[in-house]
Chains A and B, each alone.
Chain A
Amino acid sequence: MIVGAGMAGSKLAHDLLERQRNSQQAHMDYVITLIGEETQVGYNRIMLSSLLAQDISDAEMPLVDTDKMQKGGVHIISGDLVVSMDLESKVVSLSSGQSVAYDKLIMATGSRARVLPIDGAQAANVMGFRTWHDVDVMTSLKEKQPVCVIGGGLLGLEAAVGLVKRGHDVTVFHRSDWLLNRQLDKESAELLLNRLKGMGIQFRLGESPSAFIQSDDQLVTHVVCENGEHMAASLVIMAAGITPEITLAKAAGLQTNQAIVVDEKMQTSHADVFALGECCEFEAQTFGLVAPIWTQINVLIDGLNNQQARFSIEPTPTKLKVSGVNLFSVGRIEPIEGDECIFFKDIGANHYRKLVVNDGLLVGAILYGNVADGSWYFQLIQNKTDISDMLELLVFGEAYCRPQVA
Chain B
Amino acid sequence: MTATMTKTTCPYCGVGCGVNVTVPSSGSDSEHDKTLDLKNIPPVSGDTDHPANFGRLCVKGSSLAQTLHSDDRLLTPVVNGDVVSWESAVDTVSEKIAQVVKDHGPDAFAFYLSGQILTEDYYVANKLAKGFIGTANVDTNSRLCMASAVVGYKRAFGSDTVPCNYEDLELCNLLIMVGSNAAWTHPILYQRIVEAKKQRPNMKVVVIDPRETATCDIADLHLAIRPGSDAAVFSFLLKHSVDAGVLNNTFISRHTNGFKETLHQANESCSSLAFVADFCGVSEEALLTLATWWCDTPKTVTFYSQGVNQSSSGVDKCNAIINCHLATGRIGKEGAGPFSITGQPNAMGGREVGGLANQLAAHMDFATPGAQELVQRFWQAPNMATENGLKAVDMFQAMEEGKVKVVWIMSTNPMVSLPDTAQVRRALEKCELVIVSDCKAHTDTTAMADVLFPATGWSEKNGTVTNSERRISRQRGLLPPPGEAKHDWWAICEVAKRLGYRSAFSYQNVHEIFAEHAALSEFENNGKRDFDIGHFSGISQQDYDALTPVQWPVPKGRPQGTKRMFEKGRFFTPDRRAKFIPIIPSLPVYQATSEWPFTFNTGRVRDQWHTMTRTGDAASLTKHTDQPYVEIHPKDAKRLNIVDQSLVHVQSESGEALLKAKISRGVSPGNVFAPIHWTKQFSNAAVVSNLIPQVVDPLSGQPESKHAQVRLEAVTDASYGIVISTQPLESLDFTYWCRVPSDYGYRYEVVWPAGESVASIRSLFSTSPSSKEEWLEYTNPKTQQIRLAQIADQKLISVVYLHSKPVSISCDWLESKLVGNECLSDSDRMAILVGLPANVEDKGAIVCSCFQVGSKQIEKAVASGAHSVEQLGASLKCGTNCGSCLPELKNFIPIKTEVSA
Instruction: Please give the residue numbers on chain A whose beta carbons come within 8 Å of chain B beta carbons, in ascending order.
Output: 340-349, 351, 357, 370, 391-393, 395-397, 399-400
Contacts and interface: CB of A to CB of B under 8 A. Distances in A.
Contacts of B785: 392
Given A340-B782, A342-B780, A343-B779, A396 B833 contact: yes
Contacts of A344: 776-778, 830, 833
Contacts of A399: 838-839
A400 B826 contact: no
Contacts of B826: 346, 349, 351, 370
A351 B829 contact: yes
10 contacts: A342-B782, A343-B778, A343-B779, A344-B830, A345-B776, A346-B826, A348-B775, A348-B776, A391-B783, A400-B834
A400 B780 contact: no
Nearest to B794: A348
A348 B791 contact: yes
Given A340-B781, A343-B778, A399-B839, 17 more contacts: A342-B778, A342-B780, A344-B776, A344-B777, A346-B777, A346-B829, A346-B830, A348-B775, A348-B829, A349-B826, A351-B829, A370-B830, A391-B783, A392-B780, A395-B778, A399-B838, A400-B834
Nearest to A370: B826
A344 B834 CA distance: 11
B774 interface: yes
A362 B781 CA distance: 14
Contacts of A346: 774, 776-777, 826, 829-830
Contact of A351 (B780, B791, B830, B834): B830
A153 B720 CA distance: 42
Contacts of B780: 342-343, 391-392, 395
A397 B776 CA distance: 16
Instruction: Find the residue from B783, B791, B829, B830 having the highest chain A CB count within 10 A.
Output: B830
Interface in B778-802: 778-783, 785, 791
Contact of A345 (B777, B782, B783): B777
A340 B783 CA distance: 10
Contact of B782 (A348, A351, A391): A391
B779 A342 contact: yes
Top 4 closest pairs, chain A to chain B, by CB: A348-B774, A399-B838, A345-B777, A342-B780
A51 to B, nearest CB: 31
Nearest to A341: B781
Contacts of A357: 782
Contacts of A347: 774-775
B89 to A, nearest CB: 51
A393 B830 CA distance: 11
Interface in B746-800: 774-783, 785, 791
Nearest to A345: B777
Contacts, number: 61
A343 B783 contact: no
Contacts of B791: 348
A344 B827 CA distance: 13
> Could you say which interface size class chain B belongs to?
10 to 19
A386 B839 CA distance: 24
Nearest to B786: A343
Nearest to B825: A349
A348 B790 CA distance: 11
A345 B839 CA distance: 21
Contacts of B781: 340-342
A345 B758 CA distance: 12
B830 A396 contact: yes
A393 B834 contact: yes
Contacts of A395: 778, 780
Contacts of A391: 780, 782-783
Given A370-B826, A391-B783, A343 B834 contact: no
Contacts of B838: 396-397, 399-400
B391 to A, nearest CB: 54
A406 B79 CA distance: 64
A370 B831 CA distance: 14
Nearest to B832: A346
A349 B777 CA distance: 12
Contacts of B783: 391-392
A71 B773 CA distance: 64
Interface string B809-838: 000000000000000001001100110001
Nearest to A342: B780
A396 B782 CA distance: 15
A391 B784 CA distance: 10
A397 B834 CA distance: 11
A349 B834 contact: no
A184 B779 CA distance: 18
B401 to A, nearest CB: 57
Contacts of A351: 826, 829-830
A349 B779 contact: no
Nearest to A391: B782
A357 B777 CA distance: 18
A343 B833 contact: no
A345 B834 CA distance: 13
Contacts of B830: 344, 346, 351, 370, 396-397
Contacts of A349: 826, 829
B860 to A, nearest CB: 12
A193 B777 CA distance: 20
A110 to B, nearest CB: 40
A344 B758 CA distance: 13
Contacts of A400: 834, 838
